[in-house]
Every structure is written in structure tokens, then in C-alpha cells.
Amino acid sequence: MSSAQANAEDHRDSPLYTFSAAARHLGIPPRTLRYWIVGRSFSRRSRAAPSKPLIRAPARTGLITFNNLVEAHVLRAFRSEDAGRMGATGTAIENAEQALGTDRLLLREEMNTSGRDMVLDGLGKLYELSGSDRLAIRQMLSASLQRIERDDDGLPTRLYPFAPRGVPDNRTIVLDPETAFGRPTIAGSRIATASVVARLDAGDQLESVAAEHGLAAARVVDAVLYERAR
């Protein structure tokens, strides 16, 4: 039995994030995330072909889960404006899932090993990739997967989102579905980044906010930069 099954309070598949909030944490446009989760109908105006969802989110909630957020974080490594390539990526993931006898491969620890190679090889057969494309995807995948903490079953428990462009990437910020309703917090604490921003905006001094929470001032600064840079 997995830890998710054993713990009735596991919130990894609870609807937690709006599309706009999730996209902000991922550093991608909301329309891109919506395309991955909702898919796309045929458009007469753009003549774009229909596409099916790449990620399964809870129906009729308008929200996505922490697990969906992690799936999108991993899928981000394959991101392309070419709908054909993203469609081929979805097919390659499905084929790898069938070969491995698993589902939701983007969440699984196998993506660190055989799953990654199977998806890349499958994508290469379905869609012509240049050598630089393949190298870039592989490196981005490795970087993305290293930012996921897992439980004993190899399933995600925490995600350290990429820092916004221009902000030092100190892995100060973490998303944990069991803390602050999945909102970003300062790693190693239960302090929401939004709360320290609110305190500073209310006139409190950086040093006093940091001291009250037992945090180094630099970590409070990282929280502010995360909130303000996205």
C-alpha cells in the first residue's frame, strides 16, 4: 500500500491551484498550462488541429492538484510552441507507460531512469528532433526531476519550483500540499511567502520579520523576490 493510500489526509490529489496560480509557480503562460490539461478543440480561425489533454485534472473543479503541478513541472522540459511536437510527446509518454506497466509516468521515479530514455526515444521516432533538441530536453528533464522530493514509494511530496528569471536559485521556496494548502512556503519552515511580503508591506522591518520567524534575512529576501518577480 502506498503512503497516499495509507494516509487519508494526503492532499496530493486534492484540487488546490487555479490555472493562473499554478502557471505562475511553473513560470509558464496560463494558456500553455490550460492546453496541457484541457486540450484544444479544432479552431476555424487558426486552423489548429484538435489535441487531447496531456495531464488529467479533477473534472468540473476549475482547479488542479499538486500532482498535476508536478506533472506539468516535468512536462515543461518538453515545452514547445509546436502543437505537433507536444502531441507526439503525449503519445511517447503513453507508449512508455504501456511498456512499463504504469500510469502517470510523469509522477513516477522511473522518469529518472528508463522512463526518461523511453519517452525521448519514442518522441524521436514520432517527431524529428535535432541533436541539440534532444540534449536540451534531457538536461532540462534532469534539472526538473532533481527538484522533486519523494516518499518511500517514489511519489512526489514536495516541489522546489524554478526561481524566476534574474532571481538567485537557492531552493528557498517549496510547494508542499500538506503545508499552507500547497501555497509557496520558505523551505524548512511553515511560513508562507505571501505572509512575509504582507508583513513588510505593512511596515515591518526585514530584520524583525526574519528574527520573529527564526529565519536568516536572506531567506526572507528570497521569499519576497519569488512573490514579486512572477
Condensed to tens digits (0 to 9), the pLDDT of residues 75-115 reads 999 988 788 899 999 999 999 999 999 999 999 999 999 99
Residue 82, pLDDT score = 81
**Is the pLDDT score of 219 beyond 80?**
yes
SS3 state at 133: helix
CB 205 within 8 A of CB 224: no
State the DSSP H helix or E strand holding residue 193, giving kind and residue range, or none if neither. Answer: helix 193-201
Mean pLDDT of all residues in 151-172? 93
Residue 7, pLDDT score = 54
Residue 76, pLDDT score = 95
**Is the pLDDT score of 44 beyond 80?**
no
Q: What is the set of domains in the chain, with CATH numbers?
A: 163-230 (1.10.10.10)
**Is the pLDDT score of 16 beyond 70?**
yes
* Dist CA 218 CA 206 (whole Å): 9
**Is the pLDDT score of 4 beyond 60?**
no
Residue 103, pLDDT score = 94
Beta strands in the chain (DSSP E): 15-17, 64-65, 148-150, 156-159, 173-174, 185-186
CB 164 within 8 A of CB 230: yes
Mean pLDDT of all residues in 66-71? 98
Q: How many residues does the chain have?
A: 230
